[in-house]
Structure 1
Amino acid sequence: MSTVPQREEAYLKRLRLELLVCELNSKIGKDKHFRAAQRKSRIHTTLGLIAALLAALLASTAFAKLPYQSVLQPAVALMVALATAALGFLKLDHQVGIHRTVGNTYSALGREARHLFNLTTDASPDVHDVELQFKALQRRYEEAAQQADAAPTNAGDIRDAGEQNARKRDALKKKVDAADAAIMGDDARQSDDNESGRPGLQSVQ
């Protein structure tokens, strides 16, 4: 049986919901960046193969025997140059590394959010300690989002990650909306929480 005072129990419910939202947003962030890493890795590999195959073709004796060398040779050389330039300009291999690093960071943040959530289910949880750890977790989440700016995802990555987590996201969003409505309808509790510096509910991605 919980020994947490009723007022703290009410806040714990909100904190647990915040942690679930953080866990889900981290999962969506992880899925989004791993998908982007896979997509850009495929593009990088494709461009590299095109450049290598065309360069090999250009150097082959069979190609040298083909007619219209005055047209074919410059055209193939141009395609090799374009594919090589695209690899150097886009730096996809570097972006893939960033996406994987950010994805792993989000994965770790999601696991920590779940750990903190489990701490709140103890019979006598240390609410203040969990709250401090959660605030630190939120700061690291913001840092991960800033790091992700160096390797942006596209609309397809965002859509696929959202669809993969749609059921859990929709269910959690309903709980967040209900909690927000309850908070707005309880001015006294909201005032107390604001005075204590406790965060309001964050949004589901």
Structure 2
Amino acid sequence: MTAHSITIPLKSGTNPSFQFETLHVESANVVIQADPTQHVLPNIQLELNSIANNTTYSTFLWHHTDAEGYQSINYPKAFQNYIFKLTFTTKDDIALVVKKIDFEMPFYIELGRTASIENLNMTFVHCIGEWSEDIHGNQHSAFNTYNISLSEEHEQHNISFTSLDCADKKKLLLTWKQYTFIILEDSDKALKLQVSKI
């Protein structure tokens, strides 16, 4: 454990609860699906329930590796001023890392949740699915519109944007005050952000 992070070893099944600063993490449940015929890392899912400042947070962290070795993850996830992520080298060496969120640190924020870095608060307010149709009523493009509410001390601001264009792999940059918000990934359930000070 350092001043800004804690690493908790995990085992398959139910794990003990723990406290980190104002954050209480209830007993976490880990499911490991290892395929003995594959020479890839196991598929891991962690059910996480936590409480901070009288607010509860329930989520899943998962790591999936397919037969070709492609890895898919949905963390680190943000909750208030903390992020949660998994680290592991084998199915017997898995840990949950809890850190304070900092600038330049990529993280996922789920719909309806707030992440905080110092005095900056970011809430993923909503995602609205939209589409366009041709004159015959055929849908030919679909996209989402996202809204993030920002606040710092007594100032508030909303930023809105549409889905990233997956074909060109470009990231979206938005600014407010002295902050730059890089939208790395988007979905109807979570956004992957990176925040920098200008």
* TM-score, structure 1 normalization: 0.22
More strand by share: 2
* TM-score, structure 2 normalization: 0.22
More helix by share: 1
Report which of the two structures shows the higher radius of gyration computed on alpha carbons: 1
